[in-house]
Amino acid sequence: LQANLPPSVGLLEIAQDIQTLRSILIVSSGGTVYGQSERLPISEDAQTTPVSPYGITKLTIERYGLMFHKLHGIPIKIARPSNAYGPGQKPFIGQGFIATAIGHIYCGNEVLIFGEKGTIRDYIHVRDVSSGIVAILDQGKVGEVYNIGSGIGRDNRSVLDLIESFARIDGYLVRVRIEPARNFDVPANVLNYGKLLACSGWMPKVSFESGIAEMWHEGFLKQP
- DSSP letter for each residue of the chain: -TTTHHHHHHHHHHHTT-TT---EEEE--TTTSSBS-SSSSBPTTS--B--SHHHHHHHHHHHHHHHHHHHH---EEEEEE-EEE-TTPPSSSSS-HHHHHHHHHHHTPPEEEESSS--EE-EEEHHHHHHHHHHHHHHPPTT-EEEE--S--EEHHHHHHHHHHHHTTTT----EEEEPPPTTS-SEE-B--HHHHHHH-----S-HHHHHHHHHHHHHHH--
Mean per-residue pLDDT of the chain: 95
Please give the pLDDT value at position 220: 59
With cut-offs at 50, 70 and 90, classify the pLDDT of residue 192.
very high
Nearest to 111 by CA among 95, 97, 93: 97
With cut-offs at 50, 70 and 90, classify the pLDDT of residue 46.
very high
User: Quick count: other Cβ atoms within 10 Å of Cβ 138?
Assistant: 12
pLDDT per residue over 121-137, tens digit each?
999 999 999 999 999 99
pLDDT(222) > 70: no
Please give the pLDDT value at position 218: 86
pLDDT(181) > 80: yes
User: pTM, whole model, 2 decimals?
Assistant: 0.94
User: Quick count: other Cβ atoms within 10 Å of Cβ 221?
Assistant: 7
**Higher pLDDT among residues 94 and 87, named by residue:** 87
> Mean pLDDT across the stretch 58-68?
98
Whether 33 contacts 67, CB under 8 Å: no
Please give the pLDDT value at position 219: 74
Please give the pLDDT value at position 94: 84
> Mean pLDDT across the stretch 7-34?
96
Nearest to 142 by CA among 1, 6, 15: 15
